[in-house]
Amino acid sequence: MDFRHTQLENGLTIITEVNGEAASLAAGFFVRTGSRDETPAVSGVSHFLEHMVFKGTDRRSAFDVSREFDNLGAEYNAMTSYENTIYYASVLPEFQPQALDILCDMMRPALRNADFDVEKNVILEEIALYEDQPKFRTYDNLMSAFFAGHPLGNRILGTNSSVKALTTEDMRSYFDGRYCPGNMTVVGVGKIDYSAFVDKVGAMCGRWTPGAASRQTACPPTATAKRVICDKKLIQQHIGLMSPAPSCQDADRYAAHLAATIIGDSTGSRLFYALVDPAIADDASTVHDPLDGAGGFLTFISAEKQRADDALRIALAEFKKFMDSGPTDLELQAAKNKIASGATLQGELPMGRLGAVGLDWVYRREYLPLAEEIETILAVTKDQVADLVRKYDLTAVATVALGPREQL
């Protein structure tokens, strides 16, 4: 593995992890923007804009973008989160120049009115799609309950009315403020021809007007609100719990990842034995969600409505128990091995590596080879995990309960 990076004069950063043995490469634009960077008036614009970026440029129609990517046999897509918008394509090594040509061009989209109007309907369909997914609704509500009043509680998709009200002028203005070179990183992973990569990005993006964007990252106050959303159409009770945890920048994030794995991995975790093994809940999992300057432990539980109280009580008791006594040696070793396996499997695919390499840079301006990351995880001690869960109160949760129950 060979890490190289450079910056264009206008501030656009290019980073690559070159692996000469790989059979493919993945490239992406990481834009440091998401729903947390929106004002209420333009709620949903980051995600809508992500769709519009595929709608073509001054020299490509929407169909041209799709057709050219498909001609390369590329795997390409994009995603929008609370704080990142990522565009990516994976191709065989010989198609590096063509794939970069499309990706770089796309980043200066035409934002045509006619496309905007059609795509608005697609966004409204997407909002409806997630309405039929209780886990997503739970998550969406949990973020807004936990980050009460802070932009991290903003909905990624916006709402029907906020999306309907958006105009191309709103979007253009948001684009100008956020998609500036200083706020974007080009990432290449896999079998990359580095000098050709840098030359191509330079030729395509070097003319972009310099600029940078800021973000309010002061650690927001978090709430322990309880939000019960009664929906009689649902059969199961869906419960989400969120408590404070280390951020992306915090060295404690490794201990937090291990703690979450011990508490709520899908197999062999404390919640598995306490809730799923005895079938009190059909699903119970905890993850550590590190964000920019903030973070959370997120737990999702799905249970039948008459068992929901038990499930919630037991989960909180397990949190308490873990805070009191910390992990056992065996638990810690198992969690480390599971994380190391998972990271290795993911790291064997350029597409799997792209996210890790890109986000390490976006959040910390740092490159961490996979082997080093695994070593760091393996080096975390029992005391570090125990200290972490004493520092972050796992039971200080915001709670969302979505389902047939009126109260919980």
Partner 1 sequence: MQALRAPRGVFDVAYSHGLRKMRPCALTRRARLPTVPEEFFIHELPNGLTLLGQKMPNVSSAAMTLLVPAGASRDATGAEGAAAIVSEWCLRGAGERDTRALNDALDTLGCRHSENVQSAHVHFGSAQLGRNLEAALALYADIIRRPRLEDATFDPCRELTRQDIVSLEDEPAQKCHVLLREKFYPYPLGRCIYGSEQSLARITAAQAREHVGRFFAPSGGIIAVAGNIDWETFRRLAESYFGDWQAPPPHPVATRKPEGGSTHVKKESAQVHIAMAQKSVPFGDERYYAARLAESILSGGMSSRLFTEVREKRGLVYHVSTHYSSLKGLAGMFTYAGTRPEVAQKTFDVIVRELLRLSEGVQPDELARSRTQLKSALVMQGQSTAARAGAIAGDWYHLRRLRSLAEICAAIEKVTGEDVLAYLKAFPPRDFTTLVIGPEPINTGGANE
Please pick, from the candidates 13, 14, 18, 24, the single residue that binds partner 1 as defined by CB under 8 A: 24
Which range, of 61-69, 195-203, 222-230, 383-391, touches partner 1 by CB under 8 A? Answer: 61-69
Please pick, from the candidates 101, 119, 309, 373, the single residue that binds partner 1 as defined by CB under 8 A: 119
What residues numbered 349-388 form the site for partner 1, per CB under 8 A? 349-352, 354-356, 359
23 binds partner 1 (CB under 8 A): yes
51 binds partner 1 (CB under 8 A): yes
Contact 142, 242 (CB under 8 A): yes
Site string for partner 1, 165-184 (x = CB under 8 A): --------------------
Which range, of 113-121, 163-171, 206-214, 382-390, touches partner 1 by CB under 8 A? Answer: 113-121
Distance CA 246, CA 291 (A): 8
Question: Rounded to the nearest 5°, which phi and psi values hold at 114?
Answer: -65, -45
The CB-of-209 to partner 1 minimum distance in angstroms stands at 27
Distance CA 165, CA 260 (A): 40
**Residue for token digits 């890490």?**
3
User: Which residues neighbour 152 within 8 Å (Cβ) at sequence distance 6 or greater?
Assistant: 36, 82, 83, 143, 220, 291, 294
160 binds partner 1 (CB under 8 A): no
Order across the sheet with 236-244: list the strands.
Answer: 226-230, 398-403, 236-244, 294-304, 283-291
Which range, of 47-55, 102-110, 217-225, 385-393, touches partner 1 by CB under 8 A? Answer: 47-55
Contact 188, 201 (CB under 8 A): no
Please pick, from the candidates 2, 75, 310, 406, the single residue that binds partner 1 as defined by CB under 8 A: 75
Q: Which is closer to partner 1, CB of 359 or CB of 396?
A: 359
| CA dihedral (17, 346, 270, 247) positive or negative | positive
Which range, of 172-180, 310-318, 319-327, 332-340, touches partner 1 by CB under 8 A? Answer: 332-340
Please pick, from the candidates 14, 45, 74, 315, the single residue that binds partner 1 as defined by CB under 8 A: 74
Please pick, from the candidates 7, 121, 159, 167, the single residue that binds partner 1 as defined by CB under 8 A: 121
Q: Which is closer to partner 1, CB of 186 or CB of 303?
A: 303
Contact 334, 272 (CB under 8 A): no
The CB-of-10 to partner 1 minimum distance in angstroms stands at 27
Half-sphere exposure of 46 (CA within 13 A, CB side): 30
Rg (alpha carbons) of the chain, rounded to whole number: 22
Please pick, from the candidates 133, 173, 216, 381, the single residue that binds partner 1 as defined by CB under 8 A: 133
